[in-house]
Amino acid sequence: MTPAQIAVSAGGVAVIVGELWYFLFSRGPAAAAAVAQGVQEIAVTVKGGYTPDTIVVQAGTPVRLRFYRDETADCSDRVVFERFGIDRALPAFQTTTVEFTPTEPGEFPFRCGMSMLKGLLVVEPPGDRRAATSPHKFHGA
């Protein structure tokens, strides 16, 4: 094998591993839902993905996710929370509210109808709020 071949092989393997990790296993920055009147509420923009895509909530308090779908691409026209039995259509240019109350802590993925877009709902034990996260960090920016 020539050095070029060795370099290309090693580089190829590295790119494959990195690409698979990045698309399938990594997560974006988390956003915590704001609590107002006993409901944890957060707005999620749906355009080529979920912004924010990792949402931190607390167990035991109702969660209201307001999905605004800012595109007509077919991929994002549903949002599915398998664990909570939610499979909701997201009409384009509308805000669709998804409400439920997570009862136990854990990490629950959500996704679009075709599993192309992914998000993660992180349910923390009650009272264990992360101080540093701000819901305003990820939208409007």
Taking residue 122's Cβ as centre, other Cβ atoms within 10 Å add up to: 19
Query: Cα angle vertex 69, ends 68, 70, to 5°?
Result: 105
84 and 102 Cβ atoms separated by less than 8 Å: yes
Q: Rule CB under 8 A: is residue 114 a binding residue for another protein?
A: yes
User: Helix or strand or coil: residue 137?
Assistant: helix
- CA–chain centroid gap for 21, Å, is 16
* Site pattern 46..75 for another protein (x: CB under 8 A): -xxxxx-x------------x-----xxxx
Cα–Cα distance measured from residue 127 to residue 14, given in angstroms and rounded to the nearest whole number: 41
Identified binder of another protein from the candidate list 89, 103, 125, 128, rule CB under 8 A: 89
Segment near another protein (CB under 8 A); pick from 18-26, 55-63, 100-108, 123-131: 18-26
Determine, following the binding rule CB under 8 A, whether residue 78 of this chain makes contact with another protein: yes
DSSP 125: P
Question: Is there binding between residue 107 and another protein (CB under 8 A)?
Answer: no
Which stretches of the chain bind another protein, using CB under 8 A? 1, 4-5, 8-9, 12-13, 15-16, 19-20, 22-24, 26-28, 36-37, 47-51, 53, 66, 72-75, 77-78, 87, 89, 91-95, 97, 111, 113-118
